[in-house]
Amino acid sequence: MRKFSLSLLAVALLGVCSSSQAFFVNANGSYNGKADIDGSGGAEMSSSVYRLTAGGQYLTFSVKHTEYDFSGIDDPVDSLDHVALDGHYDFSLTQDFGLFTGLTLAMGFEDEIHLSDNYAITPRAGVSYTFAGGNQIFLGALAQFNEVDNIYLPIAGIKFGSDSDLGFSGSLAYPATKVTYRPSAYYAFEGVFLTVRDLYQLADDSKLSPEGYIFEKSYGAALGVIVNPLQMLELRFGVQSFFDREYEIYDAGGHELASYDVDPAMGFYGNLNFKF
C-alpha cells in the first residue's frame, strides 16, 4: 500500500539536530469548507480533521481522524483514521556537521485493520550543517516501503532561528515549509505551506472499492496567529485553503480505478500545544 504521511516528518525536520526537545502534547482541529468534486455531476464535500500528537526527544506518536460531509451523492466514506509512530535520533559529527536519522511506521484505515496489507515503513537519513547564528542547511533522502508502490524522495532545506526568537524564523524545505514572525514574546504570526500525502485502506464493504484504497494528495497554505500566554502553553489559530486536492481510488490489488479533483475551499484551524 502506498502511503506517505508528512506530518510527523515535518515535526522531525523542524527539529533537525536539536540537542534537546521537550516533551509535548498537541491537539489540533481544522475545517475545510464545501467544494465541488470535479467529474461527479455537481457533488460537493467538506471535511473536519482532528489530530492528537505527543512526543519528545526520540519518539512522536500521532492519531488523525477525518470526517467527511457530502452533498449531491451518497456518502462514499464517512470518516478515515490514520496512526503513525516516528522514531528519530540526531547526533553531531563535528562542531558544525551533524547527522539526522528517523523511521516512521504508519497505517490508515476506514474501518477494519488488515496488518498484512495496511502498513508503511519509512526510513530517512541525512546530514546537516550549522552556520552563522545557529542556522542550518540539511540534505538527505527517505524511502517508503509498502504493499503497492515503493517511493523515494529527497530531503533538502534550510532552518533558521527558533519559534521563540524575536523576528523571523522557520524552515524553507519540503515538506516542512513554515515561516514565523515574532514581534513579541507573547504573540507571533505564521505562514505554513500545507502538504498531505495520506493513503487509507477502505472498509471490507466499501462502496468505492471493497478492501481497496483511497489516496489523498493535497497542497495548501495557512496564515495564522500564535499566542503564548504561558511559557508551557501555545495557542495557534487562523485560516487555511487547500488549492490543489486530488483523491485517487485503488482496488484491493493496488490498481488505480479513478481519480477525483476537488476545487479550492477556505477553512480554518485551531491548535493547542503543551510543552513540558
What pLDDT digit, counting tens, does each position of 200-218 carry? Answer: 999 999 989 999 999 888 8
Average pLDDT over residues 21-32: 91
Evaluate whether 226 touches 269 at the Cβ level (below 8 Å): no
CB atoms within 10 A of CB 272: 14
Average pLDDT over residues 9-37: 75
Q: Which of 14-23, 24-33, 129-138, 188-197 has the lowest mean pLDDT?
A: 14-23
Angle at 182 between CA 221 and CA 162, to 5 degrees: 85
Q: How far is residue 225 from each of residues 104, 189, 237, measured CA to CA in Å? A: 30, 5, 6
Average pLDDT over residues 185-204: 92
How many whole angstroms separate alpha carbon 239 and alpha carbon 60?
A: 26
Question: Would you put residue 42 in left (φ > 0), alpha (ψ -120 to 50) or beta?
Answer: left
How many whole angstroms separate alpha carbon 184 and alpha carbon 36?
A: 41
What pLDDT digit, counting tens, does each position of 231-268 carry? Answer: 899 999 999 999 999 999 999 988 899 999 999 999 99
Location of C-alpha cell 470518516 = 79
* pTM for the model: 0.88
By CB atoms closer than 10 A (0-12, 13-18, 19+), residue 104 is buried
pLDDT for the residue 101: 95
- Of the pLDDT bands very low, low, confident and very high (cuts 50, 70, 90), residue 1 is very low
pLDDT for the residue 104: 93
pLDDT at 146 over 70: yes
